[in-house]
Amino acid sequence: MLKLYNTLTKQKEDFKPIDEKNNVVGIYSCGLTVYNYAHIGNMRTYIFMDTLRKVLKYNGYKLKHVMNITDVGHLTSDADEGEDKMAKSAREQHKTVYEIAKMYTEAYQKDFKKLNIEDTEYLVKATDHIKDMEEYVKEIMANGYAYETSKGVYFDTSKMENYGRMLSNNNMEELLSGARVEVDSEKRNPQDFALWIKAPKEHIMKWDSFLGLCYPGWHIECSAMSRKYLGDVFDIHTGGVDHIPIHHENEIAQAIGATGHIPAKIWMHVEFLQINGGKMSKSLKNVYTISDIEKEGIEPLAYRYFTFSAHYRTKLNFTWDAIKSAQVALNRLREATKQHKNGAEKGDQNKIKEYKERFLNAINDDINMPLAIAVLWDVARENVKSKDYYNLLMELDKVTSLDLDKENVEEEIEYPEEVKAILEERKNARDNKNFAKSDELRDKLKDLGYTVIDSKEGQKLKKI
């Protein structure tokens, strides 16, 4: 039986889909705000989302999975103030908001592909669902949970007894969303949050609506789009822990205001990725992307492997030493897998059965990937080289998606002759301790689009 931890109830629960008859699971995942490149902290969340999908499919379920793209409405503050992140990025880069959305959507989709994150059944853009959001706001107003001011429509948190305490057990005083009354002096309560915002003349993204030119609040997007594709109540909602105290509390409030129901039965949240034991931040210049990892000669799937070293509900500490170790481990796991591929002996069928049970027990215990990876290693280390063990590893890799049958990165690269010649010249320079020449040739390789990394095994190249 699959057990999943529910942030709503603070316990693991036996999972049964609402549509048990058809074995279909409805999932909504909070997607990216496409105003910048996605960082590796974001990617930890989406690797979990993808692994959850594959665990559900491994258990025989069909999926109806929705992920949104926020391309409007997400302000630079979680309170109802600041500039829209999309508009700010467009202004800074001298592009239109739609060009920004297209550029960064394509960028994160490339990263997803590199990480073997498969497409959800529905990928939905906020800007394609403005009318759905408008109708949702009207319903909340009609049910008495919202009110209009000169600046827009706000959710009236005083109408909801448990507002802010569904997921995060916040006290009202602790809530950050809209906590500053001076944002709009017409707000009835400091915690009330914007559903629908009347657009100032200079605001770029705005649509004609029942209140004139407006744009949606960030939280209303997910509520409207999840209901459109999954109905009033669906099975699972996923996101990062940063969504718990504000965004997901507000989604719940909106859904109760419109439909009278909490929208998802199970809420699943991924813990923060730390960098060198601390916070990831632009000021510390440690906001890394998948491209940054690749520039260091590390493949994206090594990062996927690295995320499996800790349970999704625990913090994970990223260091360059740790990710390099993950690459080495993944390479070794692939090598061990390869040794079974042409094995002539028969695998122990009792052991195979036991491995399958252990793997299933691990993934079904709230997606315990560290235990699941341990099973892969035990299979790969079997002394008897057998195609049976190879086939088992291929079956289990449908969940882990580490491409265990893939040749290691160094063996795959074919470089142009010019690059090979420079690389050989640089090797000679280093052998002769001519480090000035070595550095000069490193820069020449960089101009040609390659990063060179010196290791115990020799020079390694990675395309920039």
pTM summary value: 0.86
Q: What is the pLDDT of residue 410?
A: 52
What CATH code would you report for 16-270?
3.40.50.620
Cβ distance 255 to 263 under 8 Å? yes
Number of residues in the chain? 464
Cβ 265 vs Cβ 234: under 8 Å = yes
User: For the packed helices 40-58 and 387-400, what is the interaxial angle rounded to 10 degrees?
Assistant: 120
Domain ranges of the chain: 16-270, 275-410, 413-463
Name the phi and psi angles at 265, rounded to 5. Answer: -75, -45
For residue 254, give the nearest of 160, 168, 179, 190 by alpha carbon.
Answer: 160
Q: What is the pLDDT along the chain (464 residues), one digit of tens a residue?
A: 999 999 999 999 999 999 999 999 999 999 999 989 999 999 999 999 999 999 999 999 999 999 999 998 777 666 666 778 888 888 899 888 889 989 999 999 999 999 999 999 999 999 999 999 999 999 999 999 999 999 999 999 999 988 988 898 765 555 544 343 345 789 999 999 999 999 999 888 999 999 999 999 989 999 999 999 999 999 999 999 999 999 999 999 999 999 999 999 999 999 999 999 999 888 888 999 999 999 888 999 999 999 999 999 999 999 999 999 999 999 999 999 999 999 999 999 999 999 999 999 999 999 999 999 999 999 999 999 999 999 999 999 999 999 999 876 554 456 788 888 888 899 888 888 898 888 898 888 888 888 888 776 678 777 66
| Cβ atoms 313, 369 nearer than 8 A | no
